[in-house]
A = this chain, B = another copy of it.
Amino acid sequence: MSASNSAARVGVWLIGARGSVATTTVAGCAAVAAGLHPPTGMVTETPPFAASGLPSLASLVFGGHDVLDCPLPKRAEQLAAAGVLPHGLPAAVAAELAAADAEIRPGGPVAGDTRGPDEVISAFARDIQDFAGRHGLDRTVVVNVSTTEPAPTGTSLPPSSLYAAAALRAGCAYVNFTPSTGLHHPELADAVAASGLPYAGRDGKTGQTLLRAVLGPMFAQRALAVRAWSGTNLLGGGDGAALADPAAAAAKNAGKERVLADTLGTTPQGVVHIDDVPALGDWKTAWDHVAFDGFLGTRMILQTLWQGCDSALAAPLVIDLARLALRAQEAGFRGPLGELGFYFKDPVGDSPAALGEQYAALLRFAGRLRDGTAGAGAEAGGAAAPEQPAAREAGC
């Protein structure tokens, strides 16, 4: 029997399941699966991934947690009115939106919740397992696409870590598309190691940092001396408001600056601003200003202006990551998936920093997925190694 069974159904459990990214993910997956749109922006639909045994788009079943209660079909209509989704799309995929909406469970903890962390984690894990059971899913991946939370100040687990712990408990692969803490909490270190589950993150690389990941290497390869790299991001939507909180922005900016330091080999002057501009809605503008020295100290400048729709940039990557993580778990990969650094500002595991090298690593990963688990145990090193699946996976 084949390592991949395209008829089997698998789950994608979204943390922040009623947000713009999640709504675009659910609606877009349905639209592409139905042939209504080409798979623009989905790397896993390009030829190098054709034989990797990824679950088909049609096999993905969506559910998730959220603290909001706006129904997905209505959210989709709002996004269409704002030009984020094409007009007519919410109606065309109304059934799929409604199906996903029925699988969204209340998130938390909300104010007044008196349960301890362990109780909350168990309740979340039960939600995921019930979902898997109801649909007879072979496995489920948990993907955090919720609004960025402030960096935690104490020792208690922030919400993103409660959800991540629930993923572990339910035996699910985990992907953190945000800069929130998630699995990166000292209290979860042992559980992560013991679980043997594959995981990926953090913080999807969708705009300014994507550019930095190709421009930084360009300067380095050409031996040009970058003196200052400054940037400003303007965005509305929920993320704009959340990142107007300096504590939340700090988490995000750390990832942006890490890309420069890693590709340039030095940390140039300059800071990054993230401004909440509600009038821009889900549209994000990023200006970058790079002051660099050329031969004999000649001063030169590169500026970039990126105008994109955040949800439309993120959603195809979320689908990519869900498929890759699901297949990685199936193929027996364990631990941090550094090969998915292509997708992240601040990759887990071992990952090069230049986008071109990250892409090459991703293609090699596609090859390993294609070759399946046989003999994979021989591949050691920093990268995730396919091993025997953890017993707990059966439940998810």
Which residues of A line the B interface, CB within 8 A?
A: 24, 28, 31, 37-43, 45-46, 81, 83-87, 89, 210-211, 214-215, 217-218, 221-225, 227-228, 230, 232, 234, 268-271, 273, 275, 277-280, 285, 287, 289, 291, 293-298, 300-309, 312-313, 315-316, 342, 354-357, 359
Contact = CB atoms under 8 A, between A and B. Distances in A.
Contacts of A41: 222-224, 294-295
A38 B294 CA distance: 10
27 contacts: A37-B295, A40-B224, A41-B222, A41-B223, A41-B224, A43-B221, A43-B222, A43-B223, A84-B298, A210-B218, A211-B218, A214-B214, A214-B215, A214-B356, A228-B234, A230-B275, A269-B279, A270-B275, A273-B273, A285-B301, A294-B316, A300-B307, A301-B307, A302-B304, A303-B304, A303-B305, A354-B356
Given A40-B224, A304-B303, A313 B295 contact: yes
Given A230-B232, A234-B289, A307-B301, A40 B294 contact: yes
A312 B295 contact: yes
Given A40-B224, A214-B218, A217-B214, A291 B277 contact: yes
Contact of A87 (B87, B271, B304): B87
Given A46-B223, A215-B214, A40 B277 contact: no
Contact of A271 (B39, B223, B275): B275
A280 B356 contact: no
User: Of residues A289, A298, A307, which shows the largest number of chain B Cβ atoms within 10 Å of its Cβ?
Assistant: A298
Given A217-B214, A223-B46, A270-B275, A24 B232 contact: no
Contacts of A279: 227-228, 268-269, 291
Contacts of A225: 38, 40
Contacts of A230: 232, 234, 275, 277
Given A40-B295, A273-B273, A279-B291, 5 more contacts: A40-B225, A41-B223, A214-B356, A230-B234, A271-B275
- Copies of this chain, complex-wide, total 4
A155 to B, nearest CB: 31
B359 A221 contact: yes
A217 B213 CA distance: 12
Nearest to A25: B295
Main SS class of interface, A: mixed
B86 A296 contact: yes
A284 to B, nearest CB: 10
Cβ-closest 9 pairs across A and B:
A356-B356, A227-B279, A298-B312, A41-B295, A303-B305, A300-B308, A294-B312, A228-B279, A232-B232
A359 B356 CA distance: 11
A296 B89 contact: yes
Nearest to A315: B295
Contact of A223 (B39, B277, B296, B301): B39
A360 to B, nearest CB: 8
A312 B301 CA distance: 13
Nearest to A301: B307
Nearest to A227: B279
Contacts of A234: 228, 230, 270, 289
Nearest to A309: B298
